[in-house]
A and B are shown apart, each in its own frame.
Chain A
Amino acid sequence: NAGVTQTPKFQVLKTGQSMTLQCAQDMNHNSMYWYRQDPGMGLRLIYYSASEGTTDKGEVPNGYNVSRLNKREFSLRLESAAPSQTSVYFCASLVRKNTEAFFGQGTRLTVV
């Protein structure tokens, strides 16, 4: 039972490069989320998808785009990476709003 799987686990990018972070869940959850975690800042919501076919901005959406490809997959794209986007990125999913969110293991991204 894999739960929430994120790829890659580590990535180093040069400023201006693009990349897509992948997230997939196998729990038939409806809602999926992308957060970034920075020291002293907690987790900040980037984008979320309440259900297949919908996406909404969170607290810090600038510089990111998302795609809810199907019910299982929710990807996060950085079109032109900046050093300020150096962070640990977590994907999460849950079946409905008052239930437990399950998190992936995280992607550690460094932009140089």
Chain B
Amino acid sequence: AQSVSQHNHHVILSEAASLELGCNYSYGGTVNLFWYVQYPGQHLQLLLKYFSGDPLVKGIKGFEAEFIKSKFSFNLRKPSVQWSDTAEYFCAVNENRDDKIIFGKGTRLHILP
């Protein structure tokens, strides 16, 4: 069964620091990859996605992620975080062979002003 691992459960950074959140998945076939963000009290919103082409994808609010197939990874990055980035971030994977979308356990990001 496919699974998604997010290595950092809780990250605390100061404003302007750089961010990298790890995501690894277990399936070796063709996958679609997503990062979602959940701001406090809200539902999930898409940050970015990858399904083919350039493995470096750019999303909203200055976020980007790199798909490294050999490492089964899809890490999320942002060069300089802001206080408004305080939220929970979820990596998600969909295998191309079916319609399940499996989420990681999430990383709670807290930005100090």
Contacts and interface: CB of A to CB of B under 8 A. Distances in A.
A90 B44 contact: yes
A59 B104 CA distance: 12
Of B51, B96, B101, B106, the most chain A CB neighbours within 10 A belong to B101
A66 to B, nearest CB: 14
A40 interface: yes
**Which of A41, A43, A44, A90 gathers the greatest number of chain B CB atoms within 10 Å?**
A43
B88 to A, nearest CB: 9
A42 B90 contact: yes
Interface string B37-53: 00000111110010100
Given A42-B105, A59-B102, A97 B96 contact: yes
A74 interface: no
Given A41-B105, A42-B90, A97-B94, A48 B46 contact: no
B49 A98 contact: yes
Contacts of B84: none
A8 to B, nearest CB: 15
Interface in A14-52: 31, 33, 35, 40-45, 48, 50
B99 A42 contact: no
B100 interface: yes
Contact of A105 (B9, B36, B43): B43
Given A97-B99, A101-B46, A42 B51 contact: no
Interface string A53-73: 000101100000000000000
B48 to A, nearest CB: 10
Interface of B: 1, 6, 9, 32, 34, 36, 42-46, 49, 51, 90, 92, 94, 96, 98-106
